[in-house]
């Protein structure tokens, strides 16, 4: 998605050789016009696949996921990283290990929000090692639902996540794919929506 690549070039900051800071439009301050365009692009790719629900994980997946849900005309559900006292119903739960943060967290979704009838589009802001997406797929599997695909805003193609998901038979649609960082600049690989 050219609009997204251009924004990454303009406003993204490369930190070291692994991390892209995009807090001015995606992970902290959020540009709703860009998010809406991103949501519409995911919807365009998945429009003929009878998606019934968009599922993401808090926090930064929520903005693009909500616009994808709007464009598809279906509900958006986000997995929670910590339990709160009102989550007293039956939960779908799994563990997600973050290589970046070196911590394991429990993520959950109330069972009542995903059923075996659902055909789910998973959305997330970043794909690095794929553990968040894998965790979401596990929750959806626990509900007996189908995963139609995984929509990613920014994929770091030099990390292991994409291949891990493809090896599991999952379809990955990344709107921006970063092949590498070179002298503080982003080098893109061809995006999946091109």
165 annotated as a binding-site residue: no
The option from Na ion, ligand G4P, none interacting with 128 (CB < 5 to 8 A, set by class) reads: ligand G4P
Q: Rounded to the nearest whole angstrom, what is the least distance from the CB of residue 115 to ligand G4P in the complex? A: 25
d(CA 3, CA 43): 16
Region near Na ion per CB under 5 A, out of 5-13, 21-29, 78-86, 95-103: 21-29
Is 128 flagged in the annotation as binding?
yes
Contact 4, 192 (CB under 8 A): no
Chain residues 91-130 in contact with ligand G4P, contact rule CB under 6 A: 98-101, 125-130
* Own/partner long-range contacts of 163-169 (Cβ < 8 Å, ≥24 apart): 164/129, 164/130, 164/134, 165/127, 165/130, 165/133, 165/134, 165/137, 168/134, 168/137
3-state DSSP helix/strand/coil % of the chain, to nearest 5: 30, 35, 35
Q: Whole-angstrom distance between the N-terminal and C-terminal Cα of the chain?
A: 7
Q: Which of residues 52, 131, 157, 173 is near ligand G4P by CB under 6 A? A: 131
66/100 Cα distance (integer angstroms): 26
Chosen from Na ion, ligand G4P, none, partner binding at 39 (C-beta under 5 to 8 Å by type): none
Please choose which of ligand G4P, Na ion, none residue 131 contacts, taking the beta carbon within 5 to 8 angstroms, the exact cut-off set by kind: ligand G4P
Position among 60, 94, 129, 157 found at the interface with Na ion (CB under 5 A):
60
Nearest to 66 by CA among 151, 143, 172, 147: 151
Q: How far is the CB of 131 from ligand G4P (least distance, A)?
A: 3
Which residue among 38, 51, 55, 60 contacts ligand G4P (CB under 6 A)? 60
CB-neighbour burial class of residue 15 (10 A; exposed 0-12, middle 13-18, buried 19+): exposed
151 binds ligand G4P (CB under 6 A): no
Name residues contacting Na ion, limited to 111-130 (CB under 5 A): 124-125
Residue 127 contacts which entry, ligand G4P, Na ion, none (Cβ below 5-8 A, type-dependent):
ligand G4P
Residue 129 binds: one of ligand G4P, Na ion, none (C-beta under 5 to 8 A by kind): ligand G4P
């Amino acid at each position: 998605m050219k609009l997204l690549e251009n924004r990454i070039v303009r406003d993204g900051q490369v930190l070291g050789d692994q991390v892209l800071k995009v807090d001015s439009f995606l992970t902290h301050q959020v540009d709703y016009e860009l998010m809406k365009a991103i949501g519409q692009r995911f919807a365009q790719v998945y429009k003929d696949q009878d998606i019934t629900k968009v599922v993401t994980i808090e926090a930064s997946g929520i903005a693009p996921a909500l616009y994808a849900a709007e464009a598809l005309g279906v509900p958006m559900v986000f997995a929670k990283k910590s339990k709160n006292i009102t989550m007293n119903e039956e939960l779908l739960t799994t563990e997600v290990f973050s290589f970046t943060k070196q911590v394991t967290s429990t993520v959950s979704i109330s069972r009542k929000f995903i059923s075996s009838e659902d055909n789910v589009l998973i959305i997330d802001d970043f794909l690095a090692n794929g553990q968040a997406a894998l965790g979401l797929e596990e929750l959806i599997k626990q509900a007996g639902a189908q995963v139609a695909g995984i929509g990613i805003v920014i994929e770091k193609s030099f990390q292991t996540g994409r291949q891990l998901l493809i090896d599991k038979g999952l379809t990955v649609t990344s709107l921006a794919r970063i092949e590498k960082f070179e002298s503080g600049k982003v080098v893109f690989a061809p995006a999946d929506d091109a």
